[in-house]
């Protein structure tokens, strides 16, 4: 790993002037190793939702780049992120995906650790030299762990900025999805998990602002949902739509419902909660939510989110982690969330609806994945690598943000350009440069 970092190219994969990106960035194993070093083992990485580990000792096992970690709620109620590897010979402390522990006992030789990571005993403490300080031999904690609106992030570089500062203007949009009631959101089930033979950045790009793919890739669900919605008197006609780009390469795409439809078609969130929204959100955020048909976006590097309403009353908030496994493979984690205060019946419907569209067998998901895998496979050869990907449809637009946008960040119209995608790629390219 060190060799690669030292020989890391100061070259660029992104041609900002011409709107193209080298395919190598989407298939190369060297690029992937550099991404681990520069991005996944350094920057803020989303790991879990607070509600997955409500009680002391609750934990989930997640991955940051190649680093396996335990995300655990300590006895003080704090969330910690610990390297899931015994300090003695490296054995994993937690070999399942989730559970509850009073402490972490290594099954190999019996070292045991408190849930805050501190080493309790090696089982053979009497054989240790007096100079060994057990305080130095606890489970390795990620130096930075912060939670924003229930979203738990960690970073291995102690020098990263505060999470709230890193999220910047994107926080305003995240608030509208993840903290719109006083209690916040709740993960309704364990995340779906699946592997796919595609580069992780395709997922991030797809969510940050890829309106162009919707009607082609998802011809199936769109046609079928239209028929169904018409029967319900719900016209899913899109209205105004725009992309938002913020610092650090975060971004999202918002699409409103067309005006002039029956009143009940707007703000189809549970009536019981609408009052609560007003307690938490600003008037601008409420106005945005009221007409929203889809909000979909990405926090750099690999945390995506979507709230989508495809038919009347079918809404779900979904979050994603695009977990890279190699240059050409990733694991996807996908959660469905709802307001904690929502009725059990609503949560049940949100979960089903969320999975139906965007889960491991989602009717949207299945078509995306097939195409992403084929893109990765077809690009993974030297001839294809001579021909960069096109991000041209960002160029005529990305110097002209809208004047009176509805929220913070730089907003762009129309929404079906590639402005946000290219902003993501530029941020990525900057992150990949050798550190100053």
Segment 146-205, which members bind other proteins (CB under 8 A)?
189-190, 192-197, 202, 205
The answer to whether 224 contacts other proteins (rule: CB under 8 A) is: yes
Judged by CB under 5 A, the number of residues near Fe ion is 1
What does 246 interact with, of ligand FES, other proteins, Fe ion, none (CB < 5 to 8 A by kind)?
Answer: none
The answer to whether 417 contacts other proteins (rule: CB under 8 A) is: yes
DSSP state of 189: S
Q: What is the DSSP string of 278-316?
A: HHHS-HHHHHHHHHEEEEEEEETTTEEEEEEEEETTEEE
The answer to whether 110 contacts ligand FES (rule: CB under 6 A) is: yes
Radius of gyration, CA atoms only, the chain: 23
Give the Cα separation of 367 and 160 in Å (integer): 37
Nearest to 100 by CA among 56, 138, 141: 56
The answer to whether 345 contacts other proteins (rule: CB under 8 A) is: no
Q: Minimal distance in Å, beta carbon 246 to Fe ion?
A: 22
Q: Which residue has the tokens 């239209």?
A: 226
Candidates 30, 89, 134, 224; binder of ligand FES (CB under 6 A) is: 89
Q: Minimal distance in Å, beta carbon 172 to other proteins?
A: 27
DSSP state of 151: E
Residues 106-116, buried b or exposed e (16+ Cβ, 10 A)?
beeeebbbbbb
The answer to whether 368 contacts Fe ion (rule: CB under 5 A) is: yes
Candidates 12, 51, 91, 237; binder of ligand FES (CB under 6 A) is: 91
CB 158 within 8 A of CB 144: yes
Q: How far is CA 289 from the centre of its chain?
A: 20
Give the Cα separation of 362 and 108 in Å (integer): 40
Candidates 369, 423, 425, 432; binder of other proteins (CB under 8 A) is: 369
Q: Is the CB of 84 or the CB of 285 nearer to ligand FES?
A: 84
The answer to whether 225 contacts Fe ion (rule: CB under 5 A) is: no
What does 98 interact with, of Fe ion, other proteins, ligand FES, none (CB < 5 to 8 A by kind)?
Answer: other proteins
Taking CB under 6 A as the criterion, which residues in 353-382 touch ligand FES?
none
**Per-residue contact flags (x/-) with other proteins for residues 319 to 338, judged by CB under 8 A:** ------------x-------
Q: Which residue has the tokens 């929203």?
A: 292
Residues 3-28, buried b or exposed e (16+ Cβ, 10 A)?
eeeeebeeeebbebeebbbbbbbbbb
CA atoms within a 13 Å half-sphere pointing along the CA-CB vector of 107: 5
Q: What contacts 7, CB < 8 A, 6 or more positions away?
A: none
Q: What SS3 state is found at 120?
A: strand
- Identify the H or E element spanning 102: none
Candidates 44, 59, 104, 111; binder of ligand FES (CB under 6 A) is: 111
Judged by CB under 8 A, the number of residues near other proteins is 76
Peptide bond into 93 cis (omega under 30): no
The answer to whether 92 contacts ligand FES (rule: CB under 6 A) is: no
What does 183 interact with, of ligand FES, Fe ion, other proteins, none (CB < 5 to 8 A by kind)?
Answer: none
Candidates 379, 409, 431, 432; binder of other proteins (CB under 8 A) is: 379
What does 23 interact with, of other proteins, ligand FES, Fe ion, none (CB < 5 to 8 A by kind)?
Answer: other proteins
The answer to whether 70 contacts ligand FES (rule: CB under 6 A) is: no
Structure tokens at 205: 């790009």
**Per-residue contact flags (x/-) with other proteins for residues 382 to 411, judged by CB under 8 A:** xxx-xx-xx-xx-xxx--------------
Give the Cα separation of 99 and 53 in Å (integer): 9
Peptide bond into 414 cis (omega under 30): yes
The answer to whether 306 contacts ligand FES (rule: CB under 6 A) is: no
The answer to whether 134 contacts ligand FES (rule: CB under 6 A) is: no
Candidates 41, 56, 66, 88; binder of ligand FES (CB under 6 A) is: 88
**Per-residue contact flags (x/-) with other proteins for residues 60 to 99, judged by CB under 8 A:** ----------------------------------xxxxxx
The answer to whether 384 contacts ligand FES (rule: CB under 6 A) is: no
Q: Minimal distance in Å, beta carbon 10 to ligand FES?
A: 29
- 248: alpha, beta or left? (left if phi > 0; alpha if psi -120 to 50): left
> Which residues of the chain form contacts with Fe ion (CB under 5 A)?
368
> Which residues of the chain form contacts with ligand FES (CB under 6 A)?
86, 88-89, 91, 106, 108-111
């Amino acid at each position: 790993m060190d060799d690669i970092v030292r020989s890391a190219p100061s070259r660029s994969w992104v041609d900002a002037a011409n709107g193209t990106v080298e395919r190598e960035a989407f298939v190369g194993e060297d690029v992937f190793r550099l991404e681990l070093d520069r991005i996944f083992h350094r920057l803020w990485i989303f790991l879990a939702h607070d509600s997955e580990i409500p009680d002391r000792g609750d934990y989930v096992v997640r991955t940051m780049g190649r680093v396996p970690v335990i995300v655990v709620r300590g006895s003080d109620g704090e969330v910690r992120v610990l390297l899931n590897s015994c300090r003695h010979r490296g054995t994993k402390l937690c070999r399942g995906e989730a559970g509850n522990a009073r402490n972490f006992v290594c099954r190999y030789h019996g070292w045991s650790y408190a849930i805050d990571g501190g080493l309790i005993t090696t089982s053979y403490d009497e054989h240790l030299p007096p100079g060994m300080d057990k305080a130095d031999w606890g489970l390795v904690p990620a130096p930075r762990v912060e939670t924003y609106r229930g979203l738990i992030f960690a970073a291995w570089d102690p020098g990263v900025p505060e999470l709230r500062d890193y999220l910047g203007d994107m926080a305003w949009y995240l608030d509208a999805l993840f903290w719109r009631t006083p209690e916040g959101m709740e993960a309704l089930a364990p995340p779906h998990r699946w592997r796919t033979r595609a580069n992780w950045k395709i997922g991030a790009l797809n969510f940050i602002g890829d309106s162009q793919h919707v009607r082609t890739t998802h011809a199936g669900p769109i046609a079928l949902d239209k028929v169904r919605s018409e029967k319900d008197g719900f016209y899913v006609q899109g209205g105004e739509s725009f992309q938002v780009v913020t610092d650090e390469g975060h971004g999202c795409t918002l699409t409103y419902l067309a005006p002039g439809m029956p009143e009940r078609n707007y703000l189809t969130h549970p009536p019981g909660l609408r009052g609560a929204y007003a307690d938490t959100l600003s008037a601008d955020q409420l106005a945005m939510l009221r007409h929203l048909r889809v909000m979909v976006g990405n926090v750099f590097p690999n945390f995506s989110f979507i709230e989508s309403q495809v038919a009347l009353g079918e809404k779900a908030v979904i979050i994603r982690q695009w977990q890279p496994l190699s240059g050409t493979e990733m694991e996807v984690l996908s959660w469905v969330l709802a307001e904690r205060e929502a009725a059990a019946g609503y949560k049940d419907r949100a979960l089903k609806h969320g999975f139906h569209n965007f889960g491991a067998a989602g009717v949207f998901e299945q078509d995306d994945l097939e195409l992403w895998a084929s893109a990765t496979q077809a690009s993974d050869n030297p001839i294809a690598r001579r021909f960069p990907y096109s991000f041209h449809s960002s160029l005529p637009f990305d110097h002209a943000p809208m004047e009176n946008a509805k929220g913070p960040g730089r907003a762009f119209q129309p929404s079906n350009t590639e402005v946000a995608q290219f902003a993501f790629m530029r941020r990525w390219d900057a992150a990949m440069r050798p550190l100053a």
